Amino acid sequence: MTRFAAPIAEAIWDMKYRLKEADGTAIDGTVEDTWRRIARAVAQAEAEPEAWEERFYRALEDFRFLPAGRITAGAGTGRAVTLFNCFVMGTIPDSMSGIFEGLREAALTMQQGGGIGYDFSTIRPKGALVEGVAADASGPLSFMDVWDAMCRTIMSAGSRRGAMMATMRCDHPDVEEFIAVKGDAARLRMFNLSVLVTDDFMEAVKADGPWELVFGDKVYKTVQARDLWNRIMRATYDFAEPGVIFIDRINTANNLHYAETIAATNPCGEQPLPPYGACLLGSINLARLVTEPFEDGAGIDEAALAELVATAVRMMDNVVDVSKFPLPEQRAEAQAKRRIGLGVTGLADALLMCGLRYGDDAAAAQCEAWMKAIARAAYLASVDLAKEKGAFPLFEAEPYLQSGMMQAMDEDVRAAVAEHGIRNALLTSVAPTGTISLYAGNVSSGIEPVFAYSYTRKVLQKDGSRTEEEVVDYAVQMWRETKGDAELPEYFVNAQTLEPQAHVKMQAAAQKWVDSSISKTINVPADIGFEAFKEVYMQAWDTGCKGCTTYRPNDITGSVLSVGASEDKVPMPVEGGEVVYMSEPLDRPAELEGATYKLKWPDSSHAIYVTVNDIVLDGRRRPFEVFINSKNMEHFAWTVALTRMISAVFRRGGDVSFVVEELKAVFDPRGGAWMNGKYIPSMLAAIGGVLENHMINIGFLEGEGLGLKEDPTANVVSLDGPRGPACPSCGSYDMRKVEGCLTCASCGHSKCA
C-alpha cells in the first residue's frame, strides 16, 4: 500500500524530496523514511529526542503537517543547505563597496538555497551626484541588473535557481522607472517586484493630491499621487508586476515594531522581514483534517487541530536550532527573534468538503474561524515553550502586547504572554505551497481556490515517449470516492471562474489572524476593464490586506491553462521550430543553410564570429550546429570546446533553448559590458544572446526571453488565447501563476518554491 494519493505526489517526492546519493541511488526507500529522517533531525534539539521523534513523525504522517520544501529535502541529510526558506538581506549601503558586499552576501545565501528579498530604496537615484569622482549615479536599477545576472548564475540547493524580491518605496525618485521595468521581457527575469506603498500615499491617491519623490533631504520631482498609482496599476495590468505592499500597515501590526523596521519581503511576499531577517515555513494540511467530508456534519475537530499545531510549532522552533545559515548575521537574527511561519494548505478543498463555496460570506467566516483557531493554538503553544525553554531573547512584554496584532488577540492569550513570555516573536504566515500541495496529493495550495478540478499531465518515460495521466484535485477525488458518479454540486468553484472580489475577501479574512503576511495571487479575467482592475487593489487596501498581487492573462504574461475543453479547440501548429525528442543524433545533410554573426566584445582586441547552421525537419527550421571562431589565440581552447558541446546538443534534437539560458546566465567575476544599451554579464552571455537572436530569426523562439514557439509533445487539452511559457525543467506548458510564483503543474518546478 502506498501513502500517496496520486501518482504525481509520488513523482514530486522522488524528484524533490527523496534523499539520494550523488549518483541517484535512493537512500529514502519510502516516504515513511523521509518522514522519519525529518522527525529525527528536528528532535535533536530536544532533551529527550527519541520521545519527540515519535510525536513529530505522527504529525508528518499522512501529510497532515507539511514542512516547507527546504526542510523536507534538507533535514537530516548532513548537507550544507539551509532549512530556512525566507531571507531579507542587509540594508544596501549607498556606496560601491557596500553594494558589492551585499551582492556577495546574496550569492552565498542563494548558494545554500535561500530565496532573498532586498529593498533598493537606499541607493541614490539615477543622475544624482557621486561625490569625489565627478560622476552621476547610475541608479538602483542598474545594480539590480547585476543582481539579476548573479542570480541566474548561482545554482541553488536542490538544483534550483535562486529567487529574489526587489522592493522600492513609492517616494523614491526612480520609482517610475522601477514600475515600468518589466515592460522589457528580457530584463530582471529573476526578480519579483513590489512597490512599498505608504499610508500617506494611499491617502494622497484618494484625495488626488501631490506626491513628492525624495531621496535624502532633496525633492527630485513632484507628481500627482493618483497618476503614480495609475502607473503602478497599468504596469501590473499589462505585465503582472509590480505587486503592492502596504508597508506601514505591516510595520504597525508587527509584534516586533519596537525592535525592527521592515522594508522588504521574501520572494513571494508572505514574509516581511527586517535586515538579515530569516524565517522558516510549514503548513497545516486542512484537507486531511476534515471529518465526514460532504456530509451534514463535516468539519474540523478543533482539539485535534490545536494538538497538531502545537506539535508543528515545536518542530519549527527546533529548526531554528538545527538549521545551517549562509551568514552569521542571519543566524543571529533568527535566534534573537525565533520567527516561524506556520500556515495552511488545502483550505479550498477543506471548504468544499464542508459544503462551502470559496468566496462566499460563509466560506470567508469559516476561513477566519479556522485561522483564528490556528493562531490561538500557535501562540499558546509558543507560550508553553517559553515556560520550558525561555522566551525569545528580544522579548519585552509591554511593547510586544501593544502591537496591532497582539491587541486583537483574545485576552487569555494576552495574559499568558504577559505572564510567561513567548518563544517565537511571530508565528503565522501563508506561504506558496505549489510543490508541497502536489506532494500531499494535489490539494489546493495555500488559501488559493482550486485551480482546476482535473487536468491531463504528460509524463516523460525513460524511453523518451510520453504517457498521459489524469491529475485530479484532492477534494474532487474524495467526492468521486464517496459519491461515485454524482455531479459536482454548485458550490464547487475554481480559479478560472471565480470573481476577483471573492479572492480579496478570502485573503482579508485570513489576514486578520496571520501575524506575518499572505502569499496570494488574485486571478482576474483577461477582459477585465482597467477601472475594475484598479478596484481590486483598492478593495485589498480597504479590507485590511497587507499587500496585493494579481495575474491577468494576456499577450505579454501568457494565458492560464484551460482544462476540460474539447480537442477541436487545440490551436493548429504554427510555423516555427519543431521540437524533436530522440535518443540518436540527427544525420547531417550535405548542405545546410545558416548565418554568421560578428560579435565585438568591448575589452577584446579581436572580434568573435559565430556561425549557426540550421536543419529543416517537416518544413520547419531548427539549429543544428555552431562554429565559433576568433583570431585571438587565448580564445582557442574554449571556443573549440563550446563549438563541439553546443553542436552535440543541437544534433540531439529536443528543446535546446536551455543552451541560450545557460550561456546568458554566465557571470564573469571580472565584469561584463554594456552592449546596445544592455548590461551583458560575460562574453559567453553575449554568445548566448547571438544564439537567441538566431533562434528568433528562424522562428524557433517567439522572442527574447520567451520560450519555445511549438512543442508537439506537450499536447495541452486546450488553450484560451496566447500560449503561456514552457516549463524550464520539463518543457510542458503547465506553468501557472500560483501565489506570486510561476509553478509547473506537471513537475512541480517553481523558482520560488
| Triad 513, 244, 155: Cα angle to 5° | 95
pLDDT band for position 718 (50/70/90)? very low
534 closest CA partner among 266, 284, 231, 239: 231
CB 678 within 8 A of CB 664: no
**Catalytic residue at 268?**
yes
Tens-digit pLDDT profile for residues 298-333? 999 999 999 999 999 999 999 999 999 989 999 999
Where is 743: in which H helix or E strand? strand 741-744
pLDDT of 574 over the 50 cut: no
pLDDT of 159 over the 50 cut: no
Grid cell locating 290:
476534515
Gap between the terminal Cα atoms of the chain: 29
Q: Pick the residue with more confidence: 739 or 691?
A: 691
pLDDT at 727: 62
DSSP string, 267-319: TTSS-EE-TT-EEEEEEEEGGGTEESTTSTT-EE-HHHHHHHHHHHHHHHHHH
Tens-digit pLDDT profile for residues 643-671? 888 888 888 777 788 888 888 878 776 66
pLDDT mean over 704-718: 38
pLDDT at 572: 30
**Catalytic residue at 554?**
no
| Triad 416, 422, 424: Cα angle to 5° | 145
Grid cell locating 149:
545576472
CB 724 within 8 A of CB 560: yes
pLDDT mean over 120-139: 88
Per cent of the chain over pLDDT 70 is: 85
Name the catalytic one among 266, 318, 424, 523: 266
pLDDT at 410: 97
pLDDT at 714: 29
pLDDT at 697: 87
Tell me the C-alpha distance between 434 and 734, whole Å.
Answer: 12
Q: Pick the residue with more confidence: 647 or 371?
A: 371
pLDDT of 619 over the 80 cut: no
- Helix 225-239 vs helix 199-207: angle between axes, to the nearest 10 degrees? 100
pLDDT at 745: 67
pLDDT of 753 over the 70 cut: no
pLDDT at 732: 60
pLDDT at 310: 98
Name the catalytic one among 105, 241, 260, 270: 270
Tens-digit pLDDT profile for residues 530-560? 999 999 999 999 999 999 999 888 766 654 4
pLDDT of 583 over the 70 cut: no
Burial annotation 288-325 (CB, 10 A radius, 16+ → b, else e): bbbeebbeeebbbebeebbbbbbbbbbbbbbbbeebeb
pLDDT at 703: 67
Tell me the C-alpha distance between 153 and 161, whole Å.
Answer: 8
- Helix 683-697 vs helix 636-651: angle between axes, to the nearest 10 degrees? 30
pLDDT mean over 511-527: 93
Grid cell locating 87:
531571507
Mean of pLDDT over the chain: 86
92, 437, 455, 484 from 488: Cα distances, Å: 53, 22, 16, 10
DSSP string, 512-541: TT-SS-B---EE--TT--HHHHHHHHHHHH
pLDDT at 110: 83
pLDDT of 752 over the 60 cut: no
pLDDT band for position 135 (50/70/90)? confident
Tell me the C-alpha distance between 670 and 166, whole Å.
Answer: 25
Domain residue extents for the chain? 101-253, 593-697
DSSP string, 417-430: HHHH--S-S--B-B
Least confident of 270-279, 424-433, 455-464: 455-464
pLDDT mean over 163-190: 92
pLDDT of 165 over the 60 cut: yes
pLDDT mean over 12-22: 92
Name the catalytic one among 268, 354, 741, 747: 268
pLDDT mean over 553-581: 42
655 closest CA partner among 574, 738, 725: 725
pLDDT at 734: 66
- Can you give the pTM of this predicted structure? 0.78
Q: Pick the residue with more confidence: 136 or 534?
A: 534
pLDDT at 591: 81
**Catalytic residue at 266?**
yes
580 closest CA partner among 499, 641, 651, 659: 651
Is the omega angle on the peptide bond into residue 553 within 30 degrees of 0, that is, cis? no
277, 295, 344, 380 from 372: Cα distances, Å: 25, 24, 12, 12
Hey, which of 23-27, 265-269, 529-533 has the most confident mean pLDDT? 529-533
Burial annotation 534-552 (CB, 10 A radius, 16+ → b, else e): bbbbbbbbeeebbbbbbbb
Q: Pick the residue with more confidence: 633 or 275?
A: 275
Hey, which of 88-102, 122-136, 197-211, 675-689 has the most confident mean pLDDT? 197-211
pLDDT of 508 over the 70 cut: yes
pLDDT at 131: 78
Tell me the C-alpha distance between 727 and 707, whole Å.
Answer: 8
pLDDT band for position 746 (50/70/90)? low
pLDDT band for position 706 (50/70/90)? low
pLDDT at 729: 56
pLDDT at 739: 55
Strands (E), 306-360: 340-345
Least confident of 406-410, 712-716, 717-721: 712-716
